[in-house]
Chain A
Amino acid sequence: MARYIFQRVLYMFLTLVLIATFSFFLMKMLPGTPLTMEDKLSETQKEIILEKYGLDDPVPIQYLKYMAGLAQGDLGISFQFDNREVTDIILSRIGPSMQLGAQALLIGTALGMLLGLISAIYHNGFLDYSSTFVAVIGKSIPSFIFAGLLQYYVGLKLGWFPVALWGTWEHTVLPTIALAMFPIAIAARFMRTEMLEVLGSDFIQTARAKGVNKFGVVFKHGVRNALIPLVTVMGPLAISLMTGTLVIEKIFAVPGIGEQFVISITTNDFPIIMGTTLFFSFFFVFIILVIDLLYGIIDPRIRLAEGEK
């Protein structure tokens, strides 16, 4: 097991190097420099600044320099915020995004699974149709609509929670709900389909023939067998939720990383673009590793052979 994880971590770094290379050259293909928008600077001033940041070197040299810095854990210094390390900027911005994403993911998965289970157990009954209705709404209505509705009715009219901004946990409630609608819908849909299939399988009949009651059949025998496809879809969803969602962050004025990322692209702030991309990529490969390990925990058939005898 330790060897397997070590191997996977090695591959992770290889993946990250490849991602860094591709994004570096892709980014350099964007038109303009960080100074394109600066009208007040003279050509000479621009040249001096470009030289200072090493932007007048040929692209391959810049790439090697960047990778050398990266190897030492140095993501560089931001162009827009003078003298601020990219690492600092990302770390200060990622907190709110991660917190919102994690909350939405947890609440969404738990509620969605519950809805899906209810649907499967009361298949084709009233409860099934109601929860399917919720799932369809959650999937088809974009989160910014929910955000607006929540702000107006819950935030403004009822005044239960702050409409926007960041600070206490109360500030996180509305954006979390708005973000959670999608994972609720996805989890409910997958759980329902999978559970229905599992409940129709032979081993469920075996369990019933043993005298196991409905609760035992669903929770002891059903759920675990229905989880694999759910984990497969929830993994990537977890990443997209936790790496910041521009729209929700914008609407609720959350100082998250999503907004930061977009600004850095429009201003050609190369170190920030690279840093954020790499950070997201790292997060992505890490979650994939976690998912692969989760598969093994859920389903013994996917578990690795425990050493050769």
Chain B
Amino acid sequence: MEKLLQVNNLKVSFDTYGGEVQAVRGVNFEVNKGETLAIVGESGSGKSVTTKALMRLIPQPPGRIKEGEILFEGKDLAKYSEKQMQKIRGKDISMIFQDPMTSLNPTMKIGNQIMEGLVKHQKMSKSQAKKRAIELMELVGLPDAANRVNQYPHQFSGGQRQRVVVAIALACNPKLLIADEPTTALDVTIQAQILELMKDIQKKTDSAIIFITHDLGVVANVADRVAVMYAGKIVEIGTVDEIFYNPKHPYTWGLLGSMPSLDSADDELYAIPGTPPDLLNPPKGDAFAARNEYAMKIDMEQEPPMFKVSDTHYAATWLLHENAPDIAPPPAIQRRMEKMSRDVQYQTKGDRP
């Protein structure tokens, strides 16, 4: 598979009055052409900051990319100037944002918002761009596009607006599409529609997708590979099957365990105890140690490296060290994982033919 994006040791910090907040603390991952990588993690784990850093959309100051490389087709975006980035944004890499209610300009016609990128990157004339905008609106499933192209965002529903946002992101056939929780603000039926739409479009255009979410159900549905982030680092990365059926990091266990499912109605829902660490002063050792019931002495002192589980599966936990005791996930979580694996199989097979 051809590599599209490789992120090496990316560190992003925000300078505040309280000091330096280390939002992203050395992230490594890669994205291949045409694949979908899901980044999961709780709020504040650095998912959004990581992806915004890829597009260099982090407001500077207070934010800054402290260290690391963002190799997109072999060129390091971290060293690009603002001018150079403007040629990449919306053309090679584009982004779908979380809240469709606020991510469209309320005083600009939908058509003009879709056309903007086309006119800028593909040097289209106004009339060409308008034609293409109507095509895009039809592609994302907005009926009566020829008329609606002249309407304003407030004349569209939430789901329709997210379709418009998708159309804007797709306008120039980007090689990489970053979706920052694109379905979080939508209700469940619309979520499913938008996910279907994105999968459809990926098939047609062969773009790679980075999908940020904290909804593991969505991950099982769309992703090829999954990266689990915690406290500004990737703690486990692998294929969907590896993460769902053979998770190695206690944090991943916790995440999977805290997913509600229909047959767990009479159990108490598992919650990971404690709160994420303060990234103003990241803890010594493993950042998850304080919340980890399997933490060992070394977790408090040294940060675990990424241990290799398989060619595609890595996890940063000392439990994988050869000297570590053999620990299986707690039975309750094991049971849940078994149930879930059945659910996931059902879900993937249950896709529309």
Residues of A within 8 A of B (CB): 201-203, 205-214, 220-221, 224-225, 298-301
Among B57, B106, B120, B121, the residue within 8 A (CB) of A209 is B57
Are A209 and B105 in contact, CB atoms less than 8 angstroms apart? no
Looking at B9-17, B85-93, B189-197, B287-295, the stretch in contact with chain A turns out to be: B85-93
Nearest opposing residue in chain A for B59, CB measure: A200
- With both chains docked as a complex, state the minimum distance between the C-beta of A303 and any C-beta of chain B, in angstroms: 9
Are B89 and A206 in contact, CB atoms less than 8 angstroms apart? no
- With both chains docked as a complex, state the minimum distance between the C-beta of B335 and any C-beta of chain A, in angstroms: 41
Are B103 and A202 in contact, CB atoms less than 8 angstroms apart? yes
Contacts of B104 in A (CB 8 A): 203, 206
- With both chains docked as a complex, state the minimum distance between the C-beta of A36 and any C-beta of chain B, in angstroms: 57
5 additional A-B residue pairs with CB within 8 Å, beyond A202-B102, A211-B91, A300-B154 = A205-B57, A206-B113, A209-B55, A209-B169, A211-B87
Nearest opposing residue in chain A for B104, CB measure: A203
The docked-state distance in angstroms from the alpha carbon of A203 to that of B101 is 9
Are A203 and B94 in contact, CB atoms less than 8 angstroms apart? no
- With both chains docked as a complex, state the minimum distance between the C-beta of A88 and any C-beta of chain B, in angstroms: 45
The docked-state distance in angstroms from the alpha carbon of A213 to that of B83 is 8
Given known pairs A205-B103, A225-B107, A299-B106, the reply for A210 and B89 (CB within 8 Å) is: yes
Nearest opposing residue in chain B for A213, CB measure: B86
Contacts of A209 in B (CB 8 A): 55, 57, 89-90, 94-95, 97, 169
Are A211 and B105 in contact, CB atoms less than 8 angstroms apart? no
- With both chains docked as a complex, state the minimum distance between the C-beta of B152 and any C-beta of chain A, in angstroms: 4
Among A206, A221, A301, the residue within 8 A (CB) of B168 is A206
Contacts of A212 in B (CB 8 A): 86, 90, 116, 120
Among A202, A213, A225, the residue within 8 A (CB) of B97 is A202
In the complex, B117 has a CB within 8 A of chain A: yes
The docked-state distance in angstroms from the alpha carbon of A221 to that of B107 is 8
Given known pairs A202-B97, A206-B168, the reply for A211 and B120 (CB within 8 Å) is: yes
Given known pairs A202-B102, A203-B102, A206-B165, the reply for A211 and B90 (CB within 8 Å) is: yes
The docked-state distance in angstroms from the alpha carbon of A26 to that of B154 is 47
- With both chains docked as a complex, state the minimum distance between the C-beta of B91 and any C-beta of chain A, in angstroms: 6
- Residue of B83, B85, B89 with highest tally of chain A CB at under 10 A: B89
Given known pairs A203-B103, A205-B103, A206-B105, the reply for A211 and B88 (CB within 8 Å) is: yes
Contacts of A300 in B (CB 8 A): 106-107, 152, 154
Are B90 and A299 in contact, CB atoms less than 8 angstroms apart? no
The docked-state distance in angstroms from the alpha carbon of A298 to that of B97 is 26
The docked-state distance in angstroms from the alpha carbon of A210 to that of B121 is 9
Contacts of B88 in A (CB 8 A): 211
Contacts of A301 in B (CB 8 A): 106, 152, 154
23 interchain pairs, CB-CB under 8 A: A201-B102, A203-B102, A203-B103, A203-B105, A203-B106, A206-B95, A206-B113, A207-B116, A209-B97, A210-B117, A210-B120, A211-B91, A211-B121, A220-B116, A221-B105, A221-B108, A224-B107, A224-B108, A225-B106, A225-B107, A298-B107, A299-B106, A300-B106
- Residue of A207, A220, A225 with highest tally of chain B CB at under 10 A: A207
The docked-state distance in angstroms from the alpha carbon of A300 to that of B105 is 11
Nearest opposing residue in chain A for B108, CB measure: A221
Contacts of B55 in A (CB 8 A): 209
The docked-state distance in angstroms from the alpha carbon of A209 to that of B99 is 15
The docked-state distance in angstroms from the alpha carbon of A299 to that of B107 is 6
Among A210, A214, A298, the residue within 8 A (CB) of B116 is A210
Are B99 and A202 in contact, CB atoms less than 8 angstroms apart? yes
Given known pairs A205-B57, A221-B108, A301-B152, the reply for A210 and B94 (CB within 8 Å) is: yes
Interface string of B99-128 (1 = CB under 8 A from A): 100111111100001001100110000000
Among B99, B106, B168, the residue within 8 A (CB) of A210 is B168
Are B105 and A225 in contact, CB atoms less than 8 angstroms apart? yes
Given known pairs A202-B97, A205-B57, A300-B154, the reply for A211 and B106 (CB within 8 Å) is: no
The docked-state distance in angstroms from the alpha carbon of A206 to that of B165 is 9
Contacts of A221 in B (CB 8 A): 105, 108
Contacts of A207 in B (CB 8 A): 105, 116
Contacts of B113 in A (CB 8 A): 206
Contacts of B82 in A (CB 8 A): 214
Contacts of A202 in B (CB 8 A): 97, 99, 102-103
- Residue of A202, A220, A224 with highest tally of chain B CB at under 10 A: A202
Interface string of B244-262 (1 = CB under 8 A from A): 0000000000000000000
- With both chains docked as a complex, state the minimum distance between the C-beta of B241 and any C-beta of chain A, in angstroms: 32
The docked-state distance in angstroms from the alpha carbon of A267 to that of B95 is 71
Nearest opposing residue in chain A for B101, CB measure: A202
- Residue of B103, B107, B108, B154 with highest tally of chain A CB at under 10 A: B107
Interface string of B46-88 (1 = CB under 8 A from A): 0000000001010000000000000000000000001101111
Contacts of B97 in A (CB 8 A): 202, 205-206, 209
The docked-state distance in angstroms from the alpha carbon of A208 to that of B90 is 8
Contacts of A224 in B (CB 8 A): 107-108
Contacts of B87 in A (CB 8 A): 211
The docked-state distance in angstroms from the alpha carbon of A298 to that of B108 is 10
Contacts of B103 in A (CB 8 A): 202-203, 205-206
Contacts of B120 in A (CB 8 A): 210-212
The docked-state distance in angstroms from the alpha carbon of A221 to that of B57 is 17
Nearest opposing residue in chain A for B94, CB measure: A209
Contacts of A201 in B (CB 8 A): 102
Contacts of A203 in B (CB 8 A): 102-106
